[in-house]
Amino acid sequence: MLKITTPISEETIKSLKVGDSVLLSGRIVTARDAAHKLMVEEKPDFIREYLKDAVIYHCGPVVKQDAKGEWSFVSAGPTTSSREEPYQSTVIGEYGVRAVIGKGGMGPKTLAGLKEHGAVYLHAIGGSGSLTASRVKKVEKVFMMEEFGTPEAFWVVDVEDFPVIVTMDAHGNSLHAKILEESGKVYKELIGK
C-alpha cells in the first residue's frame, strides 16, 4: 500500500500504475456535474489554488454543521464518474489537477487527458460512505453551496489515509477498458458469436 500526500508531484503520479493501492492524505476538493460545467465554461479563479497538484473527488457528501458553525462529513461515498467525461480532461489541464477520485471509471477522452497532463484516476469503493467520511478530518471551505446546493458544491477538505486504487494511470492504461474488452470476449463466447 502506497502512501501519498497532496500536493502531488507529476513524478509521483507517473510512478503509479494500474492496480496500485493508495492511502491518500492531504487536500481534496469535491466536484460534481455543476462544478465541472462551471470550471469549463467560466474558469473561476476561486478554486484554482485548491486544485493545483491536488485531487478532485466525484462526491456529493452528506454533511452536518455543529453549534460553532463547523462542517463535518456524515457520508462521503463516490458518485459515478462517467457523467464528468465531457469535462474532465479540460479541467485536469486547466487547473493542474493530479488525480481524480470516483467510481466506475471514465472514458477515452479522460484517459488521454490523464496521459497528456500527468494525472491518474483513483477508484474509491462505492457503498462505504460513512467509512469514507471517517477519513475526512477537516472541512476547510465550501464554495457555491447557495448556488448549487450541498451535494454539488465545492467542498475543500483534508483527508487522512483515504483508500483508493489506481484504475487509470498517466501512461494510458485503463483497468476499466481492459475489463470491458475481456468481458466482451467472454460475452461473445457465451452467445456463440
Catalytic residues: 36
What Cα–Cα distance (Å) separates residue 142 from each residue in 89, 95, 113, 138, 150?
A: 23, 18, 27, 12, 9
Task: Report the alpha-carbon distance of residue 3 to residue 153 in Å, rounded.
Answer: 28
Q: What is the dihedral of CA 76, 77, 80, 84, to 10 degrees?
A: 30
Residue 181 half-sphere exposure toward CB, CA atoms < 13 A: 6
Helices (H), the chain: 10-15, 33-41, 48-51, 85-95, 108-117, 129-133, 145-148, 175-191
Cell of 35: 462544478
Closest by Cα among 123, 25, 131, 148 to 75: 131
3-state secondary structure of 13: helix
